[in-house]
A and B are shown apart, each in its own frame.
Chain A
């Protein structure tokens, strides 16, 4: 069964304290892995798509990496405005399937 597990569930950092969020997945052929950010009361906001092991993408203080079993979202020198829930999702490579399987997210709080 396709599955996504994110860890930790919650993370509290001091401003400037770098860390990483983990997304472990099992899927019958990966079409893509997605990272989204979700602020309270809002819909998820797209960050990155990764397609194959070894791929990396960066945006400001965020960098996403992908292996055959997991993805990491590295946050370098975070700021309070990076506080949000970070969601990971995968799409399996199967015919007409467009379904995204989502993790439960990591709730990140960055203290000033």
Chain B
């Protein structure tokens, strides 16, 4: 089937506004991951979902960041009161299960620009 999809592909917002980024994983994949990739920086882990629960939220940078996953499928990453330093490429990945041998497949990303 289709790969991981993310929307929007680009988002420009003003400082202080809230934004929602969406990830649609590969059908049947139970594990879902959010990452942030800034210019000159490596991929930064944000949060991991197994089904609808999030056993590892250790990468969320502040309480302005939250994520949810419903129906074991689509996930939404919400950034409240955006700041210019939130500007980055946000990438989602999914895998069949949570084990290390399960390949993570990445989506095309959402490029966020906070003015």
Query: A43-B107, A87-B43 are contacts. A49–B56 as well, Cβ < 8 Å?
Result: no
Indicate which residue in A89, A91, A97, A104 contacts B41 across the interface (CB closer than 8 Å). Answer: A104
Interface size on B, residues (CB 8 A): 26
Q: Which residue on A lies nearest to B44, using beta carbons?
A: A102
Q: Is the CB of B42 within 8 A of A105?
A: yes
Indicate which residue in A31, A46, A51, A105 contacts B105 across the interface (CB closer than 8 Å). Answer: A46
Interface residue? A69 (CB, 8 A): no
Interface residues of B in 57-111 (CB under 8 A from A): 58-59, 91, 93, 98, 100-101, 103-109
Question: Size class of A's contact patch?
Answer: 20 to 34
Contacts of B100 in A (CB 8 A): 31-32, 49, 51, 91
Q: Which residue on B lies nearest to A43, using beta carbons?
A: B106
Interface residues of A in 8-54 (CB under 8 A from B): 31-32, 34, 41-46, 49, 51
Q: Is the CB of B103 within 8 A of A43?
A: no
Query: A98-B98, A104-B41 are contacts. A45–B106 as well, Cβ < 8 Å?
Result: yes
Interface residues of A (CB under 8 A from B): 4, 31-32, 34, 41-46, 49, 51, 87, 89, 91, 96-105
The 5 tightest CB contacts between A and B, nearest first, are A43-B106, A32-B100, A102-B42, A102-B43, A99-B45
